[in-house]
Amino acid sequence: MPGSFFMILFDPSADHLSLPPDYVDMHLKKKIPNSPITLSANGGYSWRLEIKKIGDSCCFTNGWSNVVKDLQLGFADFLYFQFVDEFTFILSVYGPNGCEKIFPQKIEDDGGENVVDHDEEEKKYDGNNDDDYDDAHDDDDDDDADDEENGDDEEDPCFVTIINKTHKKILRLPAGFEELVGIKAEGTMKLKNLDGKEWVTGLKLDKSYRASIRYHMSPGWCAFRKQNDLLEGDKCVFKYIRSERTLLLAKVTKKPRPPSSDGFWVVERARGRGS
């Protein structure tokens, strides 16, 4: 799997950035993506770029100028590119003083498709779904209620989710939430209820998103949902406890529902010979 790489920016005015020749030889020589790639940075920034051959070099282009402009990159900035997958990189920027630059949260505007600090409408899944995405697009309108609020108080950021069919096997984190809590790669996350009981869930990169970095919890989430009796229509407040590195189910507002052990509609057959 391709690794990460760094560059020192010597020409902020250039409309492209040459990639390290050794990195290209090892990882991209015969695998240059034909489709645009996504580059993201802290603060909710995300751009679509292309990797093209310019002269003898492979370069980030067709969008690189927007990266420089949005982040106000300057001479001798240290650029660290973290590989996520063949279409996705995460950019960290360090100034000449050696300190990482933390960028202000990008503000939504009407024309900015790359703005990710607002409550983003759930996108439809593409054709790359695995078993974790069963019933994921049975009712796209239900997704509008997901992530309806996203708080980021100074101590412990939180978000609100209304349980629907897409949550049967996964819980998706809101766009930009991974930046607030410092998630940088796949792994595990602890979930806890108000009784103090903990579950360990798998944390996976959601590859159905190309324009932003999104993560979801899958292995372990189903057991958490069932054991905490979370059913369709329930409104859940999740708070990330920084001191414990744990996602707490802080509050649940229950919605009346028909009798069901799972909350995902159960049709019982009538008993008797006529059934």
3-state secondary structure 236-258: EEEEEECCCCEEEEEEEECCCCC
Nearest to 20 by CA among 36, 39, 5: 5
Q: Report the share of the chain in percent with pLDDT over 90.
A: 22
Q: How many residues are recorded in the chain?
A: 275
Asked if domains 5-94 and 131-253 share a fold, the reply is yes
pLDDT band at 209 (very low <50, low <70, confident <90, very high): low
pLDDT (0 to 100) of residue 6: 92
pLDDT (0 to 100) of residue 45: 83
Let me know if domain 5-94 sits in CATH 2.40.330.10: yes
pTM for the whole thing?
A: 0.43
Per-residue pLDDT tens over the stretch 24-76: 888 877 678 888 888 888 777 888 999 999 988 899 999 999 999 989 999 98
Per-residue pLDDT tens over the stretch 89-146: 889 999 888 888 887 766 544 333 333 332 333 333 333 333 333 343 343 333 433 4
State the pairing for strand pair 246-253/187-192. Answer: parallel
- Identify the CATH assignment for 131-253 out of 2.60.40.1120, 3.40.50.2000, 1.10.8.420, 2.40.330.10: 2.40.330.10
pLDDT (0 to 100) of residue 7: 92
DSSP 270: P
